[in-house]
Every structure is written in structure tokens, then in C-alpha cells.
Amino acid sequence: MSATGRRDVVQGRGRRRRGARIAILAMALATAWALVAAVSAGATTVTVGSVMPPTFTSTPFEGVRTQFNTTLPESGANLTSPVNGAIVRWKVQGAKGGPFTLRVLHPNGVGAYTATGSSQSVKPNGTGIETFSTQLPIRSGDLIAVDSSNPTDEIGVATVTGASYGIFSSLPFEGATNAPSQTKAGQEIELSAEVQPAPAITAVSPAEGSVLGGEKVTITGTNLNGAGSVTFGEVPAASFTVVNEETITAVAPAQAKVASVDITASTLAGTSPTSGADVYAYRGCTVPNLVGQKLGPAKASLRRAGCTVGTVTKVKGPKKRRGKVIKQNPRAGRVLAPGAKVAIKLAK
């Protein structure tokens, strides 16, 4: 083969190797992006507020005020939050000026509203739908409002039969209860929010394990996606994996005593409430004090404590303690795995 032919063969092999490496790299990148997408998948959210009608008019606040929808007639619209949780995103349309602040209001049932929290202020870039991130607690039955910063600030207002919105003539203080100074009938403001519901645990399996920990526990519930922590009582799980909205697998941590604890999961929207469905029982052997007992009662004490009898040895001891336990191993008070053996020495 000529030098040119050999060179062509070598170059061809090099191109094939480079092509193979590129293909492998592409597959690795695709896998990595798939993992990133899976990890970053958020929990399902519930929309509260306007359905954002596409036809609207950017309308001035005419003051530093708070505005909020009081009636939303559209099918599927939630005027108030149907769940406890946290607002993770909010949207406005037709907004100009600013900055604007999202506010949570709690209706008192007689036409007034209590201010219970607000977001950081943000400034829109245009009059289209603008989305802002936040982490603002909201309770079932609460509604959302928007604060302006200047009288010239504007927000989109849509004409909708049956809709209405209210206005506070000045910004409310946190915790203050106010009635709207004005109500606009047949109109709604272009304001909505996405609420991530708080997590809840409905079952754990298995529901018991050793005080030494290490048991793999399947936690079932709702709105578990995005969980940042899982605890067994006051102790964080040894490790955990969020499988989906309904499932977390966790490795039980060790505990210092035999007891039943509540398993809780926490997300941006809060911590799961405790209930009988999340109880996990730690089983073990809390070594009782056997010294001074005869063998029969000592065995009964061990059974009640979740322990078993280990080696029984007779050794020389005082006559007045004959037939009684004069030494044990492990010592009293130790917390061991269920069924752990306790060695006994009896005086003879």
C-alpha cells in the first residue's frame, strides 16, 4: 500500500473514532439533560385569581392602592385558594410602571379583609403576561391582591359580566383588617397566582423498624414532589428520594429510644401535618436492670423490654444473693436492636 493509501486509512479510522466519541458524548448529554429535567420537575400547582382574559385595558390605579378581585364568574376560576400552601409564582397582564407587590388577604366573612403577607416588589418589563417567582404562604380561603407604588401605575382590567374587584384607598398594614373603599362591577383585574399545596402523608410502609435505623420506608401521600427534607420525629432521614407527587422512599435514621414518631415531609409549601397515618414505631431492646432478680423474673423483665436471654453463667457470690443476678452485660439502660441478647451471671 502506498504512503497516501496508508494515510487515508489512518485518517478514516480517526474520523470513525471521533464520530464514536461524539455519539457517546451526545448520549451522555441527553441522559444528563433528562436527569436535570426529572430533578427540576416541580410539584403540581393550583391557579388562583383571574383567568387572564386576552382583551383588556391598562388602567391607572389613581393612587398608591391595593386592588383585588372580589368576584370571578368564569368556569374553573378560583377566587380564593382551595388549599393551604405557598404561592410560588404570580402573574400580571397589562401592567405598567411599578414596582408592584403581591399581597395575601384573608376575608373575615363580613365584607372586610385582613392583610396576612406580601411578596417582594417587582417591576414588569412590558404589558404582556409577566411572571414573577415568590414564596408566600397562603391558606385555604385566602385571596390575592396587588399593591401599586405610584398613582400612575397601571394594570390590565378586563370587562367581564358578573366580575368585580375591590380597592383599598391606601396600602394596608400587615395584620390590619379593612373593607374596600370602592368596588368596580363588571370588571376584573389581570392578576393570578400559582399555589403549591402543602404536602400530606397518608401512609408509611413498613410502619415499624429497629432503633438502629436502616429500614427502607415507602412514604405515600400528596404533593410530595419538591420535598427538601424528611424527618422521623426530630431526626432527619438517613437519606430519601422523591419518586413522584405521591411517593418518597426514605431510609429510617437511628433513634436514641424505643418510641413511636411522626414522619413529616417539608416542601416550599410547608410541612405535612401530623396524623395517625404517618406514625412510625421504633422497636428495640431497652436493657432493664436485672441485678438482684432471680432468673425467672429476670427472663420476664427481658421479654417485656424486647430483649432475649443470652448466656447464663453461675459464679461465686455472697450467700445472701445466691440464685440472683449479680452482673449483666450489656448494662441496664442500653438501647439495642429488637431481641438483643443480655448475658446474666447468677450467684451460686
**CB 63, CB 171: distance < 8 Å:** no
Is pLDDT at 35 greater than 60 in this prediction? Answer: no
The pLDDT, as a whole number, for residue 42 is 60
User: 249 exposed, middle or buried (CB, 10 Å; 0-12, 13-18, 19+)?
Assistant: middle
- Cell numbers linked to 299: 427472663
Asked if residue 186 and residue 61 are part of one domain, the reply reads yes
The pLDDT, as a whole number, for residue 345 is 95
Residues 6+ apart with CB under 8 A from 18: none
Asked if residue 113 and residue 61 are part of one domain, the reply reads yes
Examine the fold and report which residue of 197, 226, 249 is the final residue of a domain before the chain moves on: 197
- In the chain the first and final C-alpha atoms are separated, in Å, by 98
Structure-model confidence comparison of residues 8 and 289, the more confident one: 289
Is pLDDT at 14 greater than 80 in this prediction? Answer: no
Is residue 12 one of the residues assigned to a domain?
A: no
Is residue 26 one of the residues assigned to a domain?
A: no
Biggest CA–CA distance in the chain, Å, is 107
Quick: pLDDT tens for 158-198: 999 999 999 999 999 999 999 999 999 999 999 999 999 99
Asked if residue 122 and residue 90 are part of one domain, the reply reads yes
Is pLDDT at 16 greater than 50 in this prediction? Answer: no
- Cell numbers linked to 120: 417582594
Is pLDDT at 285 greater than 70 in this prediction? Answer: yes
The length of the chain in residues reads 348
Asked if residue 51 and residue 190 are part of one domain, the reply reads yes
The CATH number linked to 217 is 2.60.40.10
Structure-model confidence comparison of residues 15 and 72, the more confident one: 72
The pLDDT, as a whole number, for residue 41 is 45
Asked if residue 171 and residue 145 are part of one domain, the reply reads yes
The pLDDT, as a whole number, for residue 188 is 98
Taking Cα atoms as reference points, which of 239, 242, 196 lies closest to residue 220? 242
Asked if residue 163 and residue 114 are part of one domain, the reply reads yes
Average per-residue pLDDT for the chain: 89
Cα 249 from Cα 208, distance rounded (Å) = 14
Is residue 1 one of the residues assigned to a domain?
A: no
The pLDDT, as a whole number, for residue 69 is 98
Task: Estimate to the nearest angstrom the gap between the alpha carbon of 42 and the chain centroid.
Answer: 11
The CATH number linked to 90 is 2.60.120
The pLDDT, as a whole number, for residue 10 is 39
Is pLDDT at 24 greater than 80 in this prediction? Answer: no
Asked if residue 131 and residue 83 are part of one domain, the reply reads yes
Residues 6+ apart with CB under 8 A from 210: 282, 283, 284, 337, 338
Examine the fold and report which residue of 254, 283, 312 is the final residue of a domain before the chain moves on: 283
Cα 281 from Cα 207, distance rounded (Å) = 6
Mean pLDDT lowest among 5-9, 132-136, 172-176, 208-212: 5-9
What's 210-225 look like in SS3? ECCCCCEEEEEEECCC
Asked if residue 237 and residue 101 are part of one domain, the reply reads no
Quote the number of domains for the chain. Answer: 3
**CB 193, CB 105: distance < 8 Å:** no
Q: How many helices (H) and strands (E) does the chain have?
A: 2, 27
Cα 304 from Cα 327, distance rounded (Å) = 19
Examine the fold and report which residue of 144, 178, 197 is the final residue of a domain before the chain moves on: 197
Using left for φ > 0, alpha for ψ between -120 and 50, and beta otherwise, residue 333 falls in left
* Confidence bin at 319 (pLDDT 50/70/90): confident
The pLDDT, as a whole number, for residue 149 is 97
* Confidence bin at 43 (pLDDT 50/70/90): confident
Asked if residue 155 and residue 291 are part of one domain, the reply reads no
Is pLDDT at 306 greater than 50 in this prediction? Answer: yes
Asked if residue 100 and residue 172 are part of one domain, the reply reads yes
Asked if residue 214 and residue 258 are part of one domain, the reply reads yes
Asked if residue 109 and residue 132 are part of one domain, the reply reads yes
By residue range, what is the domain housing residue 324? Answer: 285-347
Structure-model confidence comparison of residues 26 and 140, the more confident one: 140
Is pLDDT at 276 greater than 50 in this prediction? Answer: yes
The CATH number linked to 297 is 3.30.10.20
To the nearest whole percent, how much of the chain has pLDDT over 90? Answer: 85
- The CA R_g of the chain, rounded to the nearest whole Å, is 33
User: 285 exposed, middle or buried (CB, 10 Å; 0-12, 13-18, 19+)?
Assistant: buried
To the nearest whole percent, how much of the chain has pLDDT over 70? Answer: 88
Order of all β-strands in the sheet with 85-92: 46-49, 191-197, 85-92, 130-138
